[in-house]
Amino acid sequence: MTTIIVILGGVGLFLLGMSVMTDGLKALAGSALRTVLGKAASTPLSGAFWGAIITLLVQSSSAVTMTTIGLVSAELLTFPQGLGLVFGANVGTTGTGWLVALIGVSVSLSSYALLLIFIGALARLLAGGRIAASGSALAGFALVLYGLTTLQQGMGGLAQSLHPSDLPAVLGAPGVGWASGSVGLITLIAVGIAMTAVMQSSTAAIAVTISAFFAGAVSLEQGAALIIGQNIGTATSSALAAIGASATAKRLALAYVLFKTFAALIAIAAFPLTAPLMRGWASSVDGATLLAAYHTAYNVVGVAVLLPATQWFTRVVERLLPSKETALERALDPSALANPVIAVETTRRVVAEVLKTIASAVLVTLSDGNRSTGPDLAMEGTTLEKARDFLSALKEPPETKEEQLRMTSTLHALDHASRLVELIQKNGFSSGAPLDPHAAALCEQAMRAAQSIDGSIAAESALSMRAPSIGWFVSAGDRASLDEMERVTKDLDAMQRDYRATTLAAVAPGRLTAIDAFARIEASRQLHLIAHHAWRATTHLLGEGGTVTEAVTRERPP
């Protein structure tokens, strides 16, 4: 009983240390994780390479996967590019096995680990910012080492009562037939899956396996069979996490499960060859290191086989899990909330698409002979409400001043777009009052200019690695359209005073009734407000809204 308690305590310390270390490393990475992933995934191959490197550094495949889901949902990455990052994360997460094999089971660092825990905790409690994050990473790393030492002690006690002969013999072991060896292989794979499902961490399960081998409780072949199952077991947590999630998250989770299954089938088929090969190397290479290498090679082979077929694999996943969501609904993926920059970029794209829809609807209404009612924009209003709720659920604020300014500009754009929808839905075009031809023509010019704005506003800039500013990219065409909207809006503003005076003067001679005059003035005013809100929203989307103080001054209602 004491041995079981020690083993469970070692696993618990290991899991706690991994969690604390991962949180510290993610805090150190900050928005750089989003930046590097976005730039690294230019192709599936580079995405797989850098996905592995980044996962190895931050020690969290889930952090890489969730950030990837946000980038794909915001259409900053294509689905095949996202797959490349996910494939790479599978390889990068095997790095912890090397930590266990090279340090955890062969070197006793428990006394040093306690000192490191104290130093890391002190930095976490007394400092802030990156120093505190470094302290968390250090304390977490030390907890991992201490947990491995405890786990090693527990496995030493377990080895006194458990011998490899007590477990099923697997295919490829000396003197084992195909039938019994196949049954043993499948049995230990199932045990490995169960271990990961219970611990909810393949890393911890593999640490237990390597420690058990080092203590002599399992053989090399049995350890390799357990690792196959433990690698498959990671897909169970991903599948459970995808329940009720967005279509993008479900697709990536399905791709993850299919990848794990495909890699496992390759490993099982090759097991009769790899097991004797590992046993032959055991005379010159430490067995724990061989198991860590097998875990890595197992995933690398899976990636190497599937990566060239990424496009085909993407089509298979999309056919197996077709999406019923609209592009805007896919964009507002809750997973994007984990990164403030991606969440802001997602919201900005939604507002940009809604503005284009509004501009098209207003143009149709203005060109139609029946102007008694405005266009029906109920769906656009609902989308903007969802965008507002989405941004309100942001988990943490942007880090840098430039990112905060970008968020402020996005909020200004969202506010103007919401006002625009409310204005048109509430007032229409003033109950069918005749529109001044000149004012209507100017409003049409503003809407056409809004339509011509590039839908990929600042997509590259949002992922730019330039420091310190994120910045916005405004093309020459976008600049010309924005200038046109500003000119038209100011022309509409300038004509309001004269139009008002001329229209009211027509009441006294009897050419208009007072009701007609006020209705025409209100209709002209509505056209001006439509152009104004569209112009200001587009201005902020293009990052041309100026500083916060300047923006507040310019946002005073006309």
pLDDT (tens digit, 9 = 90+) per residue, 225-282?
998 988 888 777 666 656 655 677 678 778 888 888 888 899 898 888 888 888 888 8
264 shares its domain with 188? yes
284 shares its domain with 347? no
In a domain, 440, yes or no: yes
Averaging pLDDT over each range in 9-18, 156-165, 174-183, 357-366, which range is the top one? 357-366
In a domain, 225, yes or no: yes
As for how many domains the chain has, the answer is 2
Instruction: Please name which of 506, 478, 343, 474 lies closest in space to residue 411, comparing C-alpha atoms.
Output: 343
| pLDDT at res. 41 | 63
Q: What three-state secondary structure class fits 289? A: helix
Per-residue pLDDT tens for 57-73? 766 666 677 667 766 76
pLDDT band at 4 (very low <50, low <70, confident <90, very high): confident
172 shares its domain with 248? yes
- Give the DSSP per-residue string, 448-499: HHHHTS-TTTTHHHHT---SS-------HHHHHHHHHHHHHHHHHHHHHHHH
Give me 114's structure tokens.
């306690």
Q: Can you give the CATH number for the domain in which 497 is found?
A: 1.20.58
Instruction: Please name which of 204, 271, 207 lies closest in space to residue 234, comparing C-alpha atoms.
Output: 204
Does residue 362 or residue 54 have the better pLDDT? 362
241 shares its domain with 390? no
| pLDDT at res. 472 | 47
In a domain, 86, yes or no: yes
293 shares its domain with 368? no
Pairwise CA distance, residues 253 & 552, whole Å: 44
Query: Please, are residues 382 and 338 in contact by the beta-carbon 8 Å criterion?
Result: no
In a domain, 181, yes or no: yes
For residue 471, report the phi and psi dihedrals to the nearest 5 degrees: 80, 165
The residue from 275, 291, 320 where one domain ends is: 320
CA contacts within 13 A on the Cβ side of 272: 9
| pLDDT at res. 329 | 63
268 shares its domain with 414? no
Question: What residue type is 169 in one-letter code?
Answer: A
Is this model's pTM higher than 0.75 or not? no
| pLDDT at res. 414 | 92
Query: Residue 456 above 50 pLDDT?
Result: no
Query: Please, are residues 348 and 541 in contact by the beta-carbon 8 Å criterion?
Result: yes
The residue from 289, 320, 351 where one domain ends is: 320
pLDDT band at 178 (very low <50, low <70, confident <90, very high): confident
315 shares its domain with 351? no
pLDDT band at 533 (very low <50, low <70, confident <90, very high): very high
222 shares its domain with 353? no
445 shares its domain with 302? no
CA contacts within 13 A on the Cβ side of 535: 28
97-106, 294-303, 433-442, 471-480: range with lowest mean pLDDT: 471-480
191-210 mean pLDDT: 79
Averaged pLDDT of the chain: 76
**H-helix or E-strand containing 550?**
helix 548-554
Reading phi first (left if > 0) and then psi (alpha if -120 to 50, else beta), residue 428 is in: left
| pLDDT at res. 246 | 64
What's the N-to-C CA distance of the chain in angstroms? 78
Give me 350's structure tokens.
């939604």
Domain that holds residue 293: 2-320
In a domain, 188, yes or no: yes
In a domain, 327, yes or no: no
Per-residue pLDDT tens for 330-373? 667 776 676 777 788 888 888 888 888 888 888 888 876 545 45
pLDDT band at 156 (very low <50, low <70, confident <90, very high): low
| pLDDT at res. 282 | 83
| pLDDT at res. 148 | 65
Q: What three-state secondary structure class fits 321? A: coil
Q: What three-state secondary structure class fits 165? A: helix
311 shares its domain with 351? no
The residue from 320, 349, 374 where one domain ends is: 320
In a domain, 334, yes or no: no
CA dihedral sign of residues 212, 214, 218, 221: positive
| pLDDT at res. 76 | 67
For residue 555, report the phi and psi dihedrals to the nearest 5 degrees: -90, 0
Per-residue pLDDT tens for 168-177? 888 777 777 7
283 shares its domain with 409? no
| pLDDT at res. 109 | 57
In a domain, 330, yes or no: no
For residue 468, cis peptide bond before it (omega within 30 degrees of 0): yes
Pairwise CA distance, residues 7 & 446, whole Å: 70
Cα-based distances in Å from 259 to 121, 271, 394: 39, 18, 31
238 shares its domain with 370? no
| pLDDT at res. 86 | 82
Give me 417's structure tokens.
């777009």
| pLDDT at res. 426 | 75
